[in-house]
């Protein structure tokens, strides 16, 4: 079976993707520097799939170390590159760290792909490249807007770097997946999102408030031009998202990607406001979320949701999991985490 290198494979989306790859029969090699993840995630993956993935504690900014992985596991056919820093606020405070982390790794991987003749790349991109789109739902050919944070800029620049590299070396090919808002956890509650310190993202903050770690959820803004005034996003279940990566790898390895680089929106096509999410969470769990409406968060867009038609048609993939189920799995995971902490 094909060998797949997964950078950031102990992270949130990475770990769920490793599970789906293993379940589809791929041999997975994870590299991760564990800067924002835990080695225990490997046990979680193993408990689900029955197979421990190979793991190397390596920083993707170190090209020599990465080259060593290609040597050790000869015959790597494709790379899924998740490893990156992703906190929007932190990227404003530490822009150079974000440019170095998120771009040097891309340069190293592209160079190694050429040198090692491992020509297929699946790249983790983001709906952040669209900024606040003029037309909703947003399609892949919508204009790329100036980024509102260094984090967002790293995703835009990385897409451009990959495009240029592929233009210059026709052997290389890439599928860039533009994620909307991934949420939830594996149904087994063996893996899930593990925020470092105070969560930045909505769902881990909600579950931590529900379980009593946080006193109060701050709802950032109720004066947006949306039906209830809170901001709208397209929340997609992390396992649905993970499955799209397996399909993307298969497409690359089967040479069905004719364009060199392809972009796909990974979303459900449905937008939900922050207040709607809280309502569904309360319904599903029966737990009330203590909340406070505060000012808008800097850099947030008002509303964005995907037109996933291109991914539905070309990849034969669809995110079908209900919001209820996504939030149920997030809650089950938070309960499991709390039990482990005790």
DSSP element (H, E) containing 6: strand 3-7
| Residues 130-159, interacting with ligand UD1 (CB under 6 A) | 149, 152
Q: Is 88 in the site for ligand UD1 (CB under 6 A)?
A: yes
Q: Is 98 in the site for ligand UD1 (CB under 6 A)?
A: no
CA distance 267 to 172: 26
Smallest distance from ligand UD1 to CB 102, Å: 12
Is 151 labeled as catalytic in the residue annotation? Answer: yes
Residue from 55, 205, 281, 333 touching ligand UD1 (CB under 6 A): that is: 205
Residue from 56, 111, 279, 300 touching ligand UD1 (CB under 6 A): that is: 300
**DSSP per position, 113-161:** HHHHT--EEEEEEEGGGG-S-SSSSBPTTSPPPPPSSHHHHHHHHHHHH
Judged by CB under 6 A, which stretch of 36-44, 76-84, 196-204, 241-249 contacts ligand UD1? 196-204
CA distance 283 to 4: 40
Residues listed for the chain: 342
Of the candidates 151, 179, 224, 235, the residue annotated as catalytic is 151
Q: Is 219 in the site for ligand UD1 (CB under 6 A)?
A: yes
Q: Is 289 in the site for ligand UD1 (CB under 6 A)?
A: no
Supply the Cα-derived Rg of the chain in whole angstroms.
19
CA distance 128 to 125: 8
Cis amide leading into 274 (omega within 30): no
Q: Which is nearer to ligand UD1, 100 or 218 (CB)?
A: 218
Return the structure tokens found at 169. 């070396």
Smallest distance from ligand UD1 to CB 98, Å: 12
Judged by CB under 6 A, which stretch of 5-13, 125-133, 237-245, 325-333 contacts ligand UD1? 125-133
Give the total of residues touching ligand UD1 (CB under 6 A).
23
**Planar angle of CA 197, 198, 202, nearest 5 degrees:** 130
Write each residue from 230 to 259 as x if it is in contact with ligand UD1 (CB under 6 A), else as -, in one continuous string: -x-x--------------------------
**Planar angle of CA 205, 191, 18, nearest 5 degrees:** 125
Residue from 139, 201, 222, 257 touching ligand UD1 (CB under 6 A): that is: 201
Cis amide leading into 137 (omega within 30): yes
Q: Is 186 in the site for ligand UD1 (CB under 6 A)?
A: no
* Residues in touch with ligand UD1 (CB under 6 A): 86-88, 126-128, 149, 152, 181, 200-202, 205, 217-220, 231, 233, 274, 297, 300-301
Active-site residue numbers?
151
């Amino acid at each position: 079976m094909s060998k797949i290198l997964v950078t950031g494979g102990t992270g949130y989306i990475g770990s769920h993707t490793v599970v789906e790859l293993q379940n589809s029969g791929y041999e997975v090699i994870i590299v991760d520097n564990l800067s924002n993840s835990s080695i225990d995630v490997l046990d979680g993956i193993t408990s689900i799939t029955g197979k421990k993935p190979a793991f190397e504690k390596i920083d993707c900014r170190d090209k020599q170390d990465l080259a060593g992985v290609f040597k050790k596991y000869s015959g790597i056919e494709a790379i899924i590159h998740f490893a990156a820093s992703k906190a929007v606020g932190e990227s404003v405070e530490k822009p150079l760290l974000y440019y170095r982390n998120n771009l040097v790794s891309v340069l190293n991987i592209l160079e190694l792909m050429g040198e090692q003749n491992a020509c297929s790349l699946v790249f983790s991109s983001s709906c952040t490249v669209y900024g606040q789109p003029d037309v909703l739902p947003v399609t892949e050919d919508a204009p790329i807007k100036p980024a509102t944070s260094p984090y967002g800029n790293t995703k835009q620049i990385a897409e451009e770097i990959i495009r240029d590299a592929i233009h210059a070396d026709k052997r290389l090919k890439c599928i860039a997946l533009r994620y909307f808002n991934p949420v939830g956890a594996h149904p087994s509650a063996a893996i899930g999102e593990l925020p470092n310190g105070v969560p930045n993202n909505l769902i881990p903050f909600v579950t931590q408030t529900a379980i009593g770690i946080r006193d109060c959820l701050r709802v950032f803004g109720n004066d947006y031009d949306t039906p209830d005034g809170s901001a709208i996003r397209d929340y997609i279940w992390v396992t649905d998202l993970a499955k799209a990566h397996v399909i993307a790898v298969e497409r690359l390895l089967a040479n069905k990607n004719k364009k060199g680089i392809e972009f796909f929106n990974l979303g459900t096509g449905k937008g939900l406001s922050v207040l709607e999410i809280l309502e569904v969470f309360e319904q599903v769990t029966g737990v009330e979320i203590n909340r406070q409406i505060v000012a808008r968060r800097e850099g947030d867009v008002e509303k964005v949701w995907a037109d996933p038609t291109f991914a539905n048609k070309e990849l034969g993939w669809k995110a079908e999991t209900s919001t209820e189920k996504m939030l149920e799995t997030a809650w089950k995971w938070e309960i499991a985490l709390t039990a482990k902490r005790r």
